[in-house]
Chain A
Amino acid sequence: MTSGSWLRLRATVAERGFDLDLALEAGERLAVLGPNGAGKSTLLGLLAGTVRPDSGRAELGGRVLFDLPARTWQPPHSRGIALLAQDPLLFPHLSVLENVAFGPRVNGLGRAAARARAEHWLSEVDATNLAGRRATELSGGQAQRVAIARALATEPELLLLDEPLAALDVSVAPAIRRLLARVLAGRTTLIVTHDLLDALVLADRALVLDAGSAVEDGPTEQVLQRPRTRFAARLAELNLIRGVAVADGVQAGPDLVLQGMAAEPLTTGEPAVAAFAPSAVSVYLDPPHGSPRNLVAVTVSEVEQRGGIVRVRADDHRGHKLAADVTPRAAAELDLYPGREVVFSLKATAVALYPA
């Protein structure tokens, strides 16, 4: 394998239907998205050294992590890859400072030097004041700060983050996210997340996994603004309708052509998608006349209060699951309930068309 990439991984795990080829540049931060069972944990395990693939090869910074079945296999401790999990997993029998100094110590640093390194990283995560505490005495947010310091104190060549904010209280998560954004800058990182914001704030690039393979890969903004898979669309909270590019839009069924703005050049006859935000949808009981709008007849499946708006979920008869946001007042006037037949109407200017 010849590659100029910092990280290059190609691996198959037959038991889990996993087959992936992945490259990461030095300093690049990759968000890995995907439904449960898509292979995100397997990917982390392969890199951390806790999952052994049937075959494959991985290199990090010019070192071979594994090359199987040729029997090259670096154990986790000699990979230079640190892992930060959802749960901070601070060693409960050690103090905060001892936790952070653990990595430097086991990597051969002297007591004083390891302590200095630990103090430096504690200050980097604004946790100097916690140094003397026992790991069990910390709140969730404090513990995660310390866990970040502990992971970084080993100066890893690759940092793996496994849903680092998922277990935190919503009031704490933003501060930790900001902290991560700061300390991860320029650091080669792989972040597994379910959260759109994490992906946008912490990653330059997004990879969507499904059933063990990559289905989308590109700059985070693009993957999330122009989703091509249902999973990415749901994450980005966009309606997605797949079809074929035609002269005046995207043909999604014999009697459904969505008109919109071509966000990227389209080739007639090629697969294409139409994406639009739920807020761009208007809901009518009867099709309005004489309007240059896209109209989709649907059956309401769910009506859900979301703060100041009401999200109306509905099915058309072609297998598309669509959502519309309306005001509570409109929802009341329309008397929306599951099973009610309505029409979703959307302006062409609010529909983005691009190749699938």
Chain B
Amino acid sequence: MTRTESTLPRWVFVMAAVGAGFVLLPLAAMTTRVDWLRFGELITSESSVAAFWLSLKTSGASTLACLILGVPMALVLARTRFPGQGVVRALVLLPLVLPPVVGGIALLYTFGRRGLLGATLEVMGLQIAFSTVAVVIAQTFVALPFLVVSLEGSLRTLGQRYEVVAATLGARPTTILGRVTLPLVLPGLLSGTVLSFARSLGEFGATLTFAGSLQGVTRTLPLEIYLQREVDADAAVALSLVLVAIALAVIGLATRRAQVIR
């Protein structure tokens, strides 16, 4: 394969390099502050390990919730036209631009003990506030738009032509969805899933506002880092590095898978 020589002006490369440096430098700066002698001890402390597993568990659960809710949302947005669709899309994407703490406040007024649904659930003997479920709800709330945006884009790019062909071959709507549409948007679905997982993993503001912070129950890695920063800055830095490593691993894994599928 021959590669065409690019026609980009040189200054574009300079600015691109500055941009890359802007992203990489803070990460590099953080690694210089890691206390490597205590690193192992810091990240294997009881509270760190608890936060680590809680983060993985809740992010996994919220990613699953994003798939269950987000795939139908993306399909409806990409494949149908209805009045007010633009408004609906904007509202669905709102958590993407909303400060997480605002999301947390909104969730509090919905699922909190005195919230819109929370009060009813409380009567039924279900309490969401201060539970692991609250963490999953907060993560799902902020991560859902990532899946919807990513998948809707893929669906629009794919177009409906394959679906029409499948229908004229006799495939029912559910069959078309499962055997044609979703397999064909798999790369988009996968990247959306990864983005959702990564966003869930990093979720902090909404969790802090809405779910609380208790080791093993609601204190995820970002909350643990926030707490450790008050006491032991070295531990906070070490844990931050762990979080960066997980995020890199997830994104790296997903881009490789996506390439294989393409």
Binding site for B on A (CB under 8 A): 48-50, 75-83, 85, 87, 89, 91-93, 102-103, 106-107, 150-151, 154, 156, 160
What A residues does B26 contact at CB under 8 A? Answer: none
Binding site for A on B (CB under 8 A): 161-162, 164-173, 175-176, 179-180, 183-184, 186
Interface residue from B164, B169, B186 paired with A102 (Cβ < 8 Å) = B169
Do A77 and B164 have beta carbons less than 8 Å apart? no
Do A76 and B164 have beta carbons less than 8 Å apart? yes
Do B161 and A106 have beta carbons less than 8 Å apart? no
What B residues does A82 contact at CB under 8 A? Answer: 168-169
Do B168 and A81 have beta carbons less than 8 Å apart? yes
Q: Find the A residue at minimum CB distance from B176.
A: A77
Complex CA–CA separation, A160 to B165 (angstroms):
11
Do A154 and B170 have beta carbons less than 8 Å apart? yes
Distance between A252 CB and nearest chain B CB, rounded to angstroms = 46
Do A91 and B162 have beta carbons less than 8 Å apart? yes
Do A77 and B184 have beta carbons less than 8 Å apart? no
What A residues does B171 contact at CB under 8 A? Answer: 77, 102-103, 106
Complex CA–CA separation, A91 to B175 (angstroms):
14
Interface residue from A77, A92, A160 paired with B167 (Cβ < 8 Å) = A77
Distance between A194 CB and nearest chain B CB, rounded to angstroms = 20
Do A103 and B170 have beta carbons less than 8 Å apart? yes
What B residues does A92 contact at CB under 8 A? Answer: 184
Residue from A77, A83, A156 having most chain B Cβ neighbours under 10 A: A77
What A residues does B175 contact at CB under 8 A? Answer: 106
21 CB contacts below 8 A, A to B, read A48-B168, A75-B167, A77-B168, A77-B170, A77-B171, A77-B172, A78-B170, A85-B165, A89-B162, A91-B162, A93-B184, A93-B186, A102-B169, A106-B166, A106-B169, A106-B170, A106-B179, A150-B169, A151-B168, A154-B169, A160-B168
Complex CA–CA separation, A87 to B164 (angstroms):
13
Interface residue from A48, A78, A80, A154 paired with B164 (Cβ < 8 Å) = A48
What A residues does B168 contact at CB under 8 A? Answer: 48-49, 76-77, 79, 81-83, 151, 156, 160
Do B161 and A87 have beta carbons less than 8 Å apart? yes
Interface residue from A81, A85, A107 paired with B161 (Cβ < 8 Å) = A85
Do A49 and B167 have beta carbons less than 8 Å apart? yes
Distance between B66 CB and nearest chain A CB, rounded to angstroms = 23
Do A76 and B180 have beta carbons less than 8 Å apart? no
What B residues does A93 contact at CB under 8 A? Answer: 183-184, 186
Distance between B229 CB and nearest chain A CB, rounded to angstroms = 47
Distance between A104 CB and nearest chain B CB, rounded to angstroms = 9
Complex CA–CA separation, A78 to B183 (angstroms):
23
Distance between A334 CB and nearest chain B CB, rounded to angstroms = 48
Residue from B164, B168, B186 having most chain A Cβ neighbours under 10 A: B168
What B residues does A154 contact at CB under 8 A? Answer: 169-170
Complex CA–CA separation, A64 to B183 (angstroms):
33
What A residues does B179 contact at CB under 8 A? Answer: 102, 106
What A residues does B164 contact at CB under 8 A? Answer: 48, 50, 76, 83
Distance between A88 CB and nearest chain B CB, rounded to angstroms = 9
Complex CA–CA separation, A92 to B159 (angstroms):
14
Counting from the closest, the 5 A-B pairs by CB-CB distance are: A76-B167, A103-B169, A106-B171, A83-B168, A107-B170
What B residues does A77 contact at CB under 8 A? Answer: 167-173, 176
What B residues does A76 contact at CB under 8 A? Answer: 164, 167-168
Complex CA–CA separation, A93 to B181 (angstroms):
10
10 new A-B contacts at CB < 8 Å, known A82-B169, A106-B169, A154-B170: A48-B164, A77-B171, A77-B172, A80-B170, A92-B184, A93-B184, A102-B171, A103-B171, A107-B170, A150-B169
Complex CA–CA separation, A106 to B184 (angstroms):
18
Complex CA–CA separation, A180 to B164 (angstroms):
22
Do B165 and A83 have beta carbons less than 8 Å apart? yes
Complex CA–CA separation, A61 to B225 (angstroms):
71
Distance between A46 CB and nearest chain B CB, rounded to angstroms = 13
Complex CA–CA separation, A93 to B167 (angstroms):
17
What B residues does A48 contact at CB under 8 A? Answer: 164, 167-168
What B residues does A87 contact at CB under 8 A? Answer: 161
Q: Find the A residue at minimum CB distance from B184.
A: A93
Complex CA–CA separation, A51 to B11 (angstroms):
51
Residue from B161, B164, B183 having most chain A Cβ neighbours under 10 A: B164
Residue from A48, A106, A107 having most chain B Cβ neighbours under 10 A: A106
Do A89 and B184 have beta carbons less than 8 Å apart? no
What A residues does B184 contact at CB under 8 A? Answer: 91-93
Complex CA–CA separation, A80 to B167 (angstroms):
10
What A residues does B180 contact at CB under 8 A? Answer: 91
Residue from A78, A79, A85, A93 having most chain B Cβ neighbours under 10 A: A93
Q: Find the B residue at minimum CB distance from A48.
A: B168
Q: Find the A residue at minimum CB distance from B159.
A: A89
What A residues does B172 contact at CB under 8 A? Answer: 77, 106
What A residues does B167 contact at CB under 8 A? Answer: 48-49, 75-77
Q: Find the B residue at minimum CB distance from A76.
A: B167
Complex CA–CA separation, A82 to B176 (angstroms):
15
Complex CA–CA separation, A79 to B168 (angstroms):
8
Complex CA–CA separation, A77 to B180 (angstroms):
14
Do A89 and B165 have beta carbons less than 8 Å apart? yes
Distance between B219 CB and nearest chain A CB, rounded to angstroms = 43
